[in-house]
Chain A
Amino acid sequence: MIEVKDVYFTYPNNVEALKGVSLNIRKGDFVAIMGQNGAGKTTLVKHFNGLLKPTKGTVTVNGVDTREESVAKLSRGIGFVFQNPDNQLFCETVEEEVAFALRNFGFEDKIIQKRVEWAINLLGLAKHRQSSPFMLSGGERKRVALASVLAWNPDVVILDEPTIGQDYQQKEKLRQFIVQLNAQGKTVVVVTHDVEFVAECNPRVVLMAQGEIVVDGDAKHVLTNAKLVTEASIVPPQISQIFMGLTDLGLPFDIIDVYEARDILLDFLGGDL
């Protein structure tokens, strides 16, 4: 679906943000791109919808080279939800905001109406439909931004740092929503440095450091690998930290989930009693 081949990217101020990145995202994948701030995560995903074009190498989306297609065309298939909803909200009502992209893409009025309705209900914004997006709380604004992208039903949804500034409950809601989207067959790409969030989602993890991919594998293996995690300067999830200290008792160390941890500990104790 999205194929990144040996991509290099240098910003106009000569910062080399990507140094030979290759990555393949298949339909229905759930990928978390992780790493420290400045590791090149956002730069990489901005290549997926053509906001950035590789300095060297190629990015193809559904077989089309992103260099030959406008951002608007690519965005039909790839929805990008930016980190800060305030960078995109500008309409007088939530409804207008959600309809904006649909109008840009030239949908018919009837379909626009239907889609807006659907997206607003999907994100539980029905009672705010006539409110000004600026009057809503931070979490609600985030949901409006999300609705305004999901409205045109893109095949791939990219979320840039969705958990920043969100409290625990909001994160939990968001996590359930993302997992549900993915279960319905949508390809989801999440850019984040929130380890605990990823540990609970259990997606495929692409770990980046200094413009390169350090490792690409499932969350359980990547996040519990002390060496890789240090290399990418992230902190392992708390449960795996605990188990890293218990390895000399013969316990496995690749545990990230609380309940899995409990079961293993109970097993261990039960076996001995």
Chain B
Amino acid sequence: MDDILCESRTVNKTLAIINTSGLIYTYPGGREPSLVDVSLTIEKGDYVILTGPSGCGKTTLCRCLNGLIPHFYSGKLEGEIKVASLTVSEHSIYELAKHVGLVFQNPENQLFALSVEKDVAFGLENLGVPREDMRARVDWALQMTGIYDLRERAPHELSGGQQQRVAIACVLAMKPDIMVLDEPTSFLDPLGAQKIFEVIGDLNKKLGITVILVEHRLDLASKYANHVIVMDEGKVVLDGKPLDVFDSESARLIGVGIPKATRLYQALRQSGVYLNRVPVNSQEATLLLQEVLTRDRG
């Protein structure tokens, strides 16, 4: 555990929208807990990247955030978890759904209607929202995700990237405060993935939605984030600002896919060349390199 990193992050309790302490969870029939003493604080408006090797408990943590754990999965949950000032274990999934939207990895298995707009309306229908309101909110969600033109198409006719945007619109229509996305791009090609990251970035910036993005492809995702959490074997091992986390030695040891820009920075540092800051994406790296290269030349 990098203690310095965790402490360097000043926690402002009043702004915290997600707060867990000492979270321990074991799946029914599981021998070992999938989450071990997870304590973290996420502030309102944060864009969090949650990463770590497969099977480290990322997905399990996501399920805790909207109440799938413990309500849908049962199993043994200890510790405290509060989301949007609701204690998860005391509120049903549908109450939490109004505050937390969960987008899954496989776009195909989370769309079940025969037209896009009907799918987007599904959650609102369940909540009993009056038709006029529903129409307006569905159209708004479709426009925010840039798929208004596809509203009458059948989901299975769309590309994976479009399907995933529909899935985002589906939870967006419920106007959540928090959006949790569990590896939403792992079936998409880079361009489709980039589009998804842009949409998510917009939701965070323009609407102030708190985003928690589970992702392996840090190269593409890191430029939007202001908070990175790394998990391993059910524990939170790193928690802090992107540049601190990516530059820490333990990130590399756990085998997180550190962005190449940061790797280049590290390689240069070993050889005695220091850039002014730690770059986490290629644009930053280019600028920082230009500074150093032209300065040394001058």
Contact = CB atoms under 8 A, between A and B. Distances in A.
Interface of A: 36-38, 137-139, 164-172, 193-196, 233-235, 237-239, 241-242, 245-246, 249, 258-259, 261-262, 265-266, 268-269, 272-273
Contacts of A242: 261, 264, 282, 285-286, 289
Nearest to B55: A137
Interface string B285-298: 11101101110110
Contacts of B256: 168
A269 B293 contact: yes
A193 B159 CA distance: 15
A45 B125 CA distance: 44
Contacts of B186: 164-165
B192 A37 contact: yes
A271 B293 CA distance: 11
A193 B190 contact: yes
10 contacts: A37-B161, A38-B159, A164-B187, A165-B187, A168-B255, A233-B191, A239-B260, A258-B260, A266-B268, A269-B296
B220 A246 contact: no
Given A242-B285, A265-B289, A265-B293, 15 more contacts: A36-B189, A38-B159, A137-B54, A165-B186, A166-B54, A168-B53, A233-B189, A238-B285, A242-B286, A245-B286, A246-B293, A249-B293, A262-B264, A262-B267, A265-B268
B273 A246 contact: no
B182 to A, nearest CB: 12
User: Which 7 pairs of residues, A with B, have the shortest CB-CB distance?
Assistant: A168-B257, A245-B286, A169-B255, A241-B282, A238-B260, A193-B189, A262-B267
Main secondary structure on chain B at its contact with chain A?
helix
Interface in B243-288: 255-257, 259-261, 263-264, 267-268, 271, 273, 281-283, 285-287
Interface residues of B, number: 45
A36 B190 CA distance: 8
B132 to A, nearest CB: 38
B101 interface: no
Contacts of A273: 296
Which of B192, B256, B285, B296 has most chain A Cβ within 10 Å? B285
B43 interface: no
Given A169-B53, A258-B263, A238 B282 contact: yes
Contacts of B271: 262, 266
Interface of B: 52-55, 105, 159-161, 183, 186-192, 194, 216, 219-220, 255-257, 259-261, 263-264, 267-268, 271, 273, 281-283, 285-287, 289-290, 292-294, 296-297
B188 A239 contact: no
A26 B105 CA distance: 37
B54 A138 contact: yes
A170 B54 contact: yes
B247 to A, nearest CB: 15
Which of A36, A139, A268, A273 has most chain B Cβ within 10 Å? A36
A255 B157 CA distance: 39
B263 to A, nearest CB: 5
Given A37-B192, A38-B159, A265-B289, A238 B259 contact: yes
A235 B190 contact: yes
Contacts of B261: 238, 242
Contacts of A261: 264, 267
